[in-house]
């Protein structure tokens, strides 16, 4: 079953779907920084246009659309301009292409801010736009930690099934086991600092196992950035300067309102998680190599990605539903043929 991917980035969502048995037939992203990584890992060319410039007839016939429209305009951590930001409007281009191709299903992922009081009315307009083109729509805020991902990461997932399927998507149940930083990265050796001006060191013994250098801003120091080994990671963000600290360091000490400091005498233990450590936490496999000149782009690709295991859990449920519907349709067709044959004999 073939799918088309939009806002693909490094392709965490795509990898989860291909792991579940789907085949990637089309991918699109207009950020140059992800192109080499995507094409070398997924082995297909990426369409480099803005989604606003893509016409429906440029997209092959597929059973599903998957994508995570840019989240910055909806993020609680950003300016929250929502639909007033050009990046927020591309949600409607996603609707436009789905209307033109009429896939059996679509999936969209975005930040928790979509459900905030300031954005919820606009979000419901988007949901109604999907309904208006013939889809039964389900949406829910999920925590990736419930689906085999060793981090707390809350995201809104929207899934639509075409009305002709006669079914509505039901979200998979959370797993009982919650993975931790120990599960994810404890076997990795010490990482390498990035090169001068935070350029990559190039090929390392462990791909991408390098971390961003530089000071820590007052915003960074306003709250604790360290999780223990037996806890899940904080959310992996798209900015390297905001990467959590490695769990070998003790938790930061509160010294005033919105002000923390590193434990005296142990300052050398505080470093940002490496790009490979962040990739592990986002459940990318070690043979998935990120290509970049500036380490900031490595962090950006990983932080913007949908965790692979979360994507795979959703994809498996969709695949199960599609197979059940196909089996049911085949059974109904056979039953109809049997009835016709019986009538001919009478």
Task: Tell me, yes or no, if 344 is annotated catalytic.
Answer: no
Instruction: Residue 68: name the closest of 137, 24, 13, 136 by CA.
Output: 13
Distance CA(85)–CA(269), nearest Å, equals: 40
The token pair that represents 144 in the structure block: 């990736």
Q: Are strands 105-111 and 154-162 parallel, antiparallel or unpaired?
A: antiparallel
DSSP string, 171-202: PPPPPS----HHHHHTTS-PPEEP-GGGB---
HSE toward the beta carbon, residue 142, CA cutoff 13 A: 28
3-state secondary structure of 309: helix
3-state secondary structure of 227: coil
71, 245, 278, 344: which is the annotated catalytic residue? 71
| Residue 123: φ, ψ to 5° | -60, -40
For the beta carbon of residue 191, count every other beta carbon within 10 angstroms. Answer: 21
The token pair that represents 165 in the structure block: 């399927």
The token pair that represents 299 in the structure block: 């962090």
The token pair that represents 81 in the structure block: 């301009």
Distance CA(226)–CA(245), nearest Å, equals: 5
Does residue 191 contact residue 270 with C-beta atoms inside 8 Å? no
Tokens 């795979």 correspond to what residue? 312
Positions marked active-site: 71
């Amino acid at each position: 079953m073939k799918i088309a991917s939009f806002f693909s980035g490094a392709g965490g969502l795509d990898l989860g779907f291909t792991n579940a048995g789907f085949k990637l037939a089309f991918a699109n992203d207009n950020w140059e920084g992800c192109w080499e990584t995507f094409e070398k890992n997924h082995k297909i060319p990426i369409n480099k246009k803005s989604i606003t410039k893509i016409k429906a007839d440029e997209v092959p016939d597929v059973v599903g659309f998957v994508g995570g429209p840019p989240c910055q305009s909806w993020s609680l951590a950003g300016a929250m301009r929502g639909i007033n930001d050009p990046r927020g409007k591309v949600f409607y281009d996603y609707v436009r292409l789905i209307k033109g191709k009429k896939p059996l299903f679509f999936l969209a992922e975005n930040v928790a801010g979509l459900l905030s009081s300031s954005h919820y009315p606009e979000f419901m307009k988007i949901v109604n736009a999907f309904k208006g083109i013939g889809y039964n729509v389900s949406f829910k805020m999920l925590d990736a930690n419930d689906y085999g991902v060793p981090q707390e990461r809350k995201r809104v997932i929207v899934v639509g099934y075409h009305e002709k399927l006669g079914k509505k998507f039901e979200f998979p149940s959370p797993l009982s086991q919650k993975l931790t930083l120990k599960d994810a990265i404890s076997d990795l050796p010490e990482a390498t600092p990035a090169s001068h001006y935070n350029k990559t060191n190039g090929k390392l013994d462990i791909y991408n196992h390098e971390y961003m250098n530089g000071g820590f801003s007052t915003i960074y120091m306003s709250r604790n950035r360290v999780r223990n080994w037996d806890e899940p990671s904080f959310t992996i963000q798209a900015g390297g300067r905001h990467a959590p600290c490695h769990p070998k360091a003790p938790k930061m000490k509160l010294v005033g309102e919105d002000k923390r400091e590193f434990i005296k005498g142990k300052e050398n233990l505080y470093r940002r998680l490496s790009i490979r450590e962040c990739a592990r936490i986002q459940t990318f496999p070690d043979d998935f190599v990120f290509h970049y000149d500036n380490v900031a782009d490595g962090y950006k690709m990983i932080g913007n990605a949908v965790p692979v295991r979360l994507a795979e859990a959703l994809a498996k449920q969709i695949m199960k539903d599609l197979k059940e519907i196909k089996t049911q349709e085949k059974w109904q067709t056979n039953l109809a043929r049997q009835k016709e044959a019986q009538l001919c004999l009478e």
